[in-house]
Structure 1
Amino acid sequence: MSAAGYGRSAQLPSRAEQAEGWRAPGQDAGWLNPVKESFLLRLLVRKELRVRYRGSALGMVWSYVKPAVQFLVFYIAMGVFLELNKGTPAYAVYLFSGIVVVNLFGEVFGNATRSITGNQALVSKIYLPSELFPWSSMIVALVHFLPQLVVLLVGALLFGWLPSTTAVIAFGLGMLILLIFTMGLGMLTASLNAAFRDVENFVDLIVMVATWLSPVLYRIDMVQRSIDGTVWWWLYQLNPLTIVVELFHVAFWRYSKPVVDEIASGVPGSETLATPGEPFGLWWAGMLIALAVFVLGTVVFERSKRRFAQEM
């Protein structure tokens, strides 16, 4: 090939070629990469699933075993020993509704934080849109979340729960707030973790205490009786995880037969939703906080990603 021909082939795509979908090497669509590069995203998801269960005898069965053991430990310790099940109708559904939330939060948050450092070979040696790594971690977490959701649905049905429009809306709002909020946090910490490996240890601490900082094991009216009228009560309610857990309680627990019977009997303290507002409480505040965190995480990630290869 002549020098002129070589130079022509090495030129950037023309405007016509760009209009047809050609892009110059190294150029990407920023935060839209997970949509525009869906094929690469699917490949990364398959790779993560294969690596996760390589050499495992049980494979996806672990998606059932881990939450089941977690549920039994909490139910025995909090429900039986501390007798929280006596004051909470359908406590098993109440408990597991919160467990699936914090499990999804923990897996998305932790995996997204490690998504860049965990794919060091790909990040440092070839060009791939960096946004694909945390997003593939989220999709893998959702794959593991589905078996837990099935178990939750079966358990709720056993307690006389029937699906309703309110339950569907509450579940949809909860999932949306949780994923937006957690992905924002994950992209922020993934950027920081590429430079400072201590970040993932802080993330582990946050995930560890998340169960106790939201009404998973106990009812929210217990918190209200302790700190009502203080700024801590409002801060507790504005915790996005608190809002999401309460939305899941609306979706799967509030309309089970034991809860409906208790509310109908007018037992004092039977209302457990965060105030103000029925039946979705402070969902709008949770959505605003989640969007703000997502924008912050995306901006920091976009500004940091060009340094990932050098920082590995």
Structure 2
Amino acid sequence: MQERYHTSLVILRELVKTDFQLRYQGSFLGIAWSVLKPLMLFVVMYVVFVRFLKFTDGTPTFPLVLLLGISLWNFYSEATTMGLVSIVNRGDVLRKVHFPNYIIVVAATVGSLISLAINMGVVIVFCIFSGLVHFTWRVLLLPFNFIEFYALALGSALLLSALNVYFRDIQHIWEVLLQIFFYATPIIYPLSMIIQRLGPVDGAIVTKMLLLSPPAQIIQDIRHNLIAPDTTQTVWTDINHLWIQLIPIAITVMLLVLGIHLFRKYSQKFAEVL
């Protein structure tokens, strides 16, 4: 048993290393793109939505909140997209080598996790040199936030990758759903803007509904704990009922359990179908 786990870890390490190297193979800047892509997207989003469309809460830390949100969303989008196609792309390996299939999906998500770690380093550097962020004890909660975020990404990736083996349309459907989820998540706009546009009653209802989405809950929690605890709305600050507050976490756990269950159930036939 111990030898089996050791072999799995070795395969996982090699797959993560290979995937991460191939991701930027042939490009002049190489791994630097893992930092440049979210930064370039941040500049575009900032100019269009903050400067021109005035999507801001008026606080000096909002550009940092925007950069953090983009970095976090890029992780979820990349992890689920890469995980979705990982089994299909590694079909030749599955037919030749016998090892636990889930390692392929985990390797794809871990590669995205490495990119997130690099981006988080950039965000923290910006926070320090901006002089606008005063770190509090809440940073101690960040590991729990990132564990939840990875569980959400892994559960989604396992579920999507299993479905994609049998239904290739999943790739296109997920691409559309990601766009919907992106705009339904308060990344480029603050939740306070919804209340301003819809009024205190309707705005509060919509805000609470958005916060019950696991990606929104996690991203807002990380923003709250790292950058702006006084101005960032979270499920814990806007909803008073404990059981309702726990809904996003419950959805994340259920999604992870469902993803593991379906993947294990159908993974034995992957090599035959592919």
Normalising by structure 2, what TM-score?
A: 0.88
* Matches of 2:28 and 2:243, distance apart in 1: 44
| Match 1:196 to one of 147, 167, 184 | 167
Do the aligned partners of residues 92 and 164 (structure 1) sit closer, same or farther apart at CA in structure 2, a change above 3 Å counting? same
Q: Could you say which residue in structure 1 is the equivalent of 2:239?
A: 276
Question: How many equivalent residue pairs?
Answer: 267
| Equivalent residues in 2 for 1:286-301, closer than 5 Å | 286-301=248-263
What does the per-residue CA deviation read over 1:248-276, in whole Å, with 9 as the maximum and x for residues that have no partner?
A: 21123215xxxxxxx6xxxxxx5633412
Report which stretch shifted further, 97-106 or 43-52.
43-52
Structure 1 residue 86, shift from structure 2 partner: 6.6
Contact persistence 1:220–1:273 (CA under 8 A): no
Pairing of 1:1-312 with structure 2 (within 5 A): 21=2, 37-85=8-56, 87-157=58-128, 158-169=130-141, 171-224=142-195, 226=198, 227-228=202-203, 230=205, 233-255=207-229, 272-274=233-235, 275-276=238-239, 284-312=246-274
Alignment deviations for residues 256-303 of structure 1 (CA, whole Å, 9 cap, x no partner): xxxxxxx6xxxxxx56334125xx997633222111100000000000
RMSD, aligned CA: 2.5
Gaps in structure 1 of 5+ consecutive residues: 1-17, 24-32, 256-262, 264-269
Which amino acid letter does the alignment assign opposite residue 227 of structure 2? W
Q: When you count helix as a share of all residues, which structure comes out higher?
A: 2
Q: What TM-score do the two structures reach when normalised by structure 1?
A: 0.78
Letter in 1 for 2:213: N
Q: Distance in 2 between matches of 1:126 and 1:147?
A: 32
AA at the equivalent of 1:236: L
Equivalents in 1 of 2:81, 2:158: separation in Å? 11
Q: Contact (CA 8 Å) 1:104, 1:142: kept in 2 or not? A: yes
Give the drift of 1:164: 2.4
Retained in 1: the 8 A contact 2:133–2:227?
A: yes
- From the superposition, tell whether residues 146 and 282 of structure 1 become closer, same or farther in structure 2 (CA, over 3 Å): farther
Identity across the alignment (%): 20
- Larger C-alpha radius of gyration, 1 or 2? 1
Moved more, 183-192 or 204-213: 204-213
Distance between the aligned counterparts of 1:284 and 1:116, measured in 2? Answer: 32
Other-structure match for 1:29:
none
Partners of 2:214 and 2:208 lie apart in 1 by 12
Q: Is the CA contact (8 Å cut-off) linking 1:134 and 1:186 kept in structure 2?
A: yes
Q: Which position in structure 2 is the counterpart of 1:8?
A: none
Q: Deviations over 1:1-48 (max 9, x none)?
A: xxxxxxxxxxxxxxxxx7xx577xxxxxxxxx6x87211110111121
